[in-house]
A and B are shown apart, each in its own frame.
Chain A
Amino acid sequence: MSGKDGIPGSSRRKFGIILGGLGAGAILGATGMAHADDSKGSGSTASTETDARGTRPGSGDVRQIGRSDIDGLAAKLDAVTLSDNERALLVGLLSLAVDTIGRSRTGSPVSPLVSTASGAKGLIGVKTQGHLPSIRDQFSKAFTPGSIRDRAVDEPAKVVGVE
């Protein structure tokens, strides 16, 4: 990473490029980024933009990720100030994800979590367990205050019909 990576414009450009590769299904690695850069966001095909508008709960247990999801995530990542090492880590992880999705597109899937069926409603299918609220949301609603009563040791279970 160069010293310019801390500049917002620079980071926006790079995350957009990488995530753009998701839409194209390009197999991008660390060395593939320059190629993707040259293609100016090769994933922005008109045919996919309509289908990908917005995210909706997936049917069954597969969530369909569209173009707007990708753009939204790229924009959020662009807004984050990262150190050089953090940026390197994130780029690396995203590149691995792109690689995984790309393999799925080429018929050699490496993860059952991701699918890219042609003609699907979304660009990318991500397998989840039903509707998955965020982890944080689940925790925020998990706690119910209050003490529970200590069960008496000798408290027998009641058997219906027995005096």
Chain B
Amino acid sequence: MSGTPLPLLRSPAVAVPQQLDHAAIEQRSAWPTVIVSMPFMDRNRPSIQLGLLKAIVAAHGFPVRTLHANLDFAARLGGDYYDTLCQHRGRMLGDWLFSLEAFGDAAPDRDDRLVEDFADDLSYLGGSRLQWRDRLLRVRHEDVPAYLDAMLDTAWDDVRVVGFSSVFQQSAASFALARRLKQRHPDIVTVFGGANFEGEMGLELVRSVDCVDVAVVGEGDLAFPQLLCALAAGTDPGAVPGVARRVGDQVLATPPTSPLLRLDELPVPDYDEYFARAERLGVLPQVGHRDNWIPFESARGCWWGAKHHCTFCGLNGSTMQFRSKSPQRVLTELAEQARRYRSFRFEAVDNILDMGYLNELFPPLIASSTDYEMFYEVKANLTRAQLRLMAQAGVIQIQPGLESLSSPVLRLMRKGVRAAQNVNLPRWAKYYNIHVSWNIIWGFPGETEQDYKEQADVIPHLVHLRPPAGNGRIWMERFSPLYNQPAEFGVRVCTPERSYRYVYPAGVDLDKVAYFFDYELADALPDAAYASLTQAIKAWSTAWEAAKPPVLKYWSAPDYLQIYDGRYPGTEGTYTFEGTLADIYVACSDRPITASAVRDRLGRRVPVGIVQEAFDEFAQRGLMFLDGSLALALALPAVTGR
């Protein structure tokens, strides 16, 4: 098939300043800027924050480079061990490793109590307790100082501003490098930003951490270059919207401007230095064709959250408003980045797919015959046709935020989907060969033990579908409705997650700095209520990973259906149905459907009662998933890809 050529976009209309006069050019050229990403940022892909800010700052006339300093730490520790540390979010382990260097004599836990007090949570590090304990202590007391010394040897002499992008466990490492830099180069202005500086977290960190000169609180696309311009021009940086700084004992902050609405104005991220550094350090191989995931942003905010904020979700603290790039802009950006970085794999950092892309982005991608592979976060109500379209366009992995297989629990979390939809999505994703990443979570105010017993009971019927990657009680996150409206949800106790105390000095107000919180609910179920579900999920994963994976598939012809059930070794067999039963089953395959809708689809020749009776019989054999009035066939067509 010949493809429709896609135009390349060399210089998107950025938030580029108006024509600069000679004096401004001179001023800005005298303010070299470095933007840094510290551990524990993923080593396998560039930071979109750095790539985007570099392109923005460069467009404003500043000499700017990026420093993926996380790569150096990964090279020092070894990639696998570094990855293990990156992937853990439960305790503040990454921040703790750098806290001595970040806060010096003021740092807590100088005698490494964390490894004892949270030993049960750290066994994932592998090896014996003595082994992982010794390794952590070596990292904290030997690798971290040596690494920071080495980073200080990088060329900083001409640098005027160092910006740190901080998300998840990057704060302490960023403070540690900033502290050393300020000691050696006191004139350097340190600017911090990122999700860890949103809202009062940023204000408190500016107040309490000396090495933070200025923080960008909120989105930095406009504020960061404006701040640099103010610094270069010698005007008051405190007048820039969306920044906070310490003046005497006070923190002065300006409210941010409204979020950037026209994302097409952003430049294409610049990842050149990431790849050069990663290949030089041996973190990535030097090859002609790369298969790295290239981060790209096609939307910000969450259109669902703007209407119904999921009760547990703390993403999009101050920027829930949904905005997206035009499909044409996305197409041209992908084309440019593929050519520039010699990789065809793209990871959307969007919180949720713009549903308009189903009509305007994916069809042209299909028509263009590109060989992209893409990842997107999506809402779980995608239909079979939409998944087929996405698969054809190159989407090979999605994260749909399924979270539960119980409609009552999904209602409690304001997910806006039914359990039957959460089963249907992985069905068709499997059919179209799209990898689904998802979890089952629990602990929602108002849930019952029955909600979890029912999930445990139905899971044995679902083993032919990809199991959840994880499961567990929800975390209390800042900015979530659970956190913001404790009385509404019966939250009795809410304190900063315990390990923050092992990272930050006593003078830091953890209530203001923490993103994760320990909590108690008035009507919380005991852990035992989830035991059977936990066990069922474990068995599901075991079955899925077996040498001969479970299968449940069907073949259909007019008035005739065969379903092969190979979900459990030793009980395999084929169901054969004719006439009405065959028609009923196939009618429930595309999406969840009611008995009366099936009756209508079959030309009203079958009473609803008969359809319902058939539903029950199918469900008893694990061939259908029933969710209130909805029924969903669990088997997939044996012939794939249609």
Please report A residues at the B interface, Cβ cutoff 8 Å: 111-113, 127, 129-130, 132, 135-136, 138-139, 142-148
Contacts and interface: CB of A to CB of B under 8 A. Distances in A.
Contact of B613 (A112, A130, A135): A135
Given A129-B580, A135-B613, A142 B575 contact: yes
B617 A147 contact: no
22 contacts: A111-B604, A112-B604, A127-B605, A129-B579, A132-B580, A135-B613, A135-B614, A136-B613, A138-B581, A139-B621, A142-B575, A142-B577, A142-B581, A143-B574, A143-B575, A144-B574, A144-B575, A145-B571, A147-B566, A147-B572, A148-B564, A148-B572
B575 A145 contact: no
A111 to B, nearest CB: 8
A145 B573 contact: yes
A135 B610 contact: yes
A157 B576 CA distance: 24
B595 to A, nearest CB: 13
Interface in B605-634: 605-607, 610, 613-614, 617, 621
A142 B621 CA distance: 11
A148 B579 contact: no
Nearest to A112: B604
Given A113-B607, A127-B605, A148-B566, A135 B581 contact: yes
A139 B576 contact: no
Interface of A is mostly: loop
A138 B577 contact: yes
B95 to A, nearest CB: 49
A135 B572 CA distance: 22
Contacts of B610: 135
Nearest to A144: B574
A143 B621 CA distance: 10
A127 B614 CA distance: 18
Given A144-B575, A146-B572, 13 more contacts: A112-B604, A113-B605, A130-B579, A132-B580, A138-B578, A142-B577, A143-B574, A144-B576, A145-B573, A146-B573, A147-B566, A147-B572, A148-B572
Contact of A144 (B571, B573, B617, B621): B573
A146 to B, nearest CB: 6
A144 B563 CA distance: 10
Nearest 3 A/B pairs, CB to CB: A147-B572, A145-B573, A139-B617
Given A144-B574, A145-B572, A148-B574, A129 B617 contact: no
A13 B606 CA distance: 30
Contacts of B576: 142, 144
Nearest to A136: B617
A139 B613 CA distance: 11
Contacts of A136: 613, 617
Contacts of A148: 564, 566, 572, 574
Contacts of B605: 112-113, 127, 129
A111 B608 CA distance: 12
A146 B579 contact: no
A11 B610 CA distance: 25
A51 B364 CA distance: 68
A113 to B, nearest CB: 6
A153 to B, nearest CB: 11
A144 B566 CA distance: 12
Nearest to B563: A142
A83 to B, nearest CB: 20
Contacts of A135: 581, 610, 613-614, 617
Interface string B381-392: 000000000000
A146 B574 contact: yes
Contacts of B607: 113
A64 B492 CA distance: 66
A142 B575 CA distance: 5
A97 to B, nearest CB: 10
B69 to A, nearest CB: 46
Contacts of B573: 143-146
Nearest to B617: A139
B230 to A, nearest CB: 63
Interface string B574-590: 11111111000000000
Contacts of A147: 566, 572
A44 B579 CA distance: 36
Contacts of A138: 577-578, 581
A135 B566 CA distance: 23
B370 to A, nearest CB: 26
A86 B372 CA distance: 58
Contacts of A143: 573-575, 621
Nearest to A114: B607
Contacts of B577: 138, 142
Interface string B532-575: 00000000000000000000000000000000101000011111
A128 to B, nearest CB: 8
Nearest to B569: A147
Contacts of B574: 143-144, 146, 148
A149 B436 CA distance: 28
Contact of B606 (A129, A130, A145): A129
Interface string B234-278: 000000000000000000000000000000000000000000000
Contacts of B571: 145
Contacts of B579: 129-130
A142 B580 CA distance: 13
Contacts of A145: 571-573
B256 to A, nearest CB: 56
Contacts of B566: 147-148
Contacts of B606: 129
Nearest to A140: B617
A146 B605 CA distance: 34
Nearest to B621: A139
Contacts of B564: 148
Contacts of B572: 145-148
Contacts of B575: 142-144
A155 to B, nearest CB: 14
Contacts of B613: 135-136
A147 B610 CA distance: 31
A113 B574 CA distance: 32
A112 B606 CA distance: 10
B439 to A, nearest CB: 31
